[in-house]
Amino acid sequence: MITLTDFLIVSAALFCIGLYMIISKHNAIQILIGIELMLNAAILNLVAFGKFDKIANSGQVFALFAIVLAAATTAVALAIILNVYKKYKTIDPRKINNLKD
């Protein structure tokens, strides 16, 4: 029997790894991967609790919504990264400190 606490601890570990990546990385793509890790931790929580909702399936349905949201986020973020690269020739977030004009 896998308890709920096991799932929660795995997802907490994933969340913290994502947090570390977001804080420490110098590369926008790696920061994006960190965000994806954090989102996945949240989805894992939703799915783990969804096991106890057989009638309404709220956990699993909202996990699906979160996955779709993550895909949309990534598409927009990558478009932004490509534009930033075109303008600055770098994707290090701490070197990008100007607005458009």
Partner 1 sequence: MSLTQLLFYIMAFIVVASALFVASSKNLVRSIFMFFITLFGLAGLYVLALADFVAVTQIVIYVGGVLVLILFAFMLSGKETLNVLQQQKSKFISLSKLPAILLAALFFVVMVNVILKTDADNVYWVKMVTGANRQIKPNDIMTDNIGINLMTRYLLPFEAISILLMMALVGAAHLARKERGTV
Site residues for partner 1, 37-76, by CB under 8 A, read 37, 40, 43-44, 47-65, 67-76
Rounded least distance, CB 51 to partner 1, Å: 5
> What is the C-alpha separation between 25 and 34, in angstroms, rounded?
9
Alpha helices in 25-57 (DSSP H): 28-50
97 belongs to the binding site for partner 1 (CB under 8 A): no
99 belongs to the binding site for partner 1 (CB under 8 A): no
Rounded least distance, CB 38 to partner 1, Å: 11
Alpha helices in the chain (DSSP H): 4-24, 28-50, 58-88
Query: Cα–Cα distances in Å, from 16 out to 25, 29, 38?
Result: 14, 18, 8
Rounded least distance, CB 99 to partner 1, Å: 15
Rounded least distance, CB 64 to partner 1, Å: 6
Rg (CA), the chain: 17
Between 23 and 99, whose beta carbon lies closer to partner 1?
A: 23
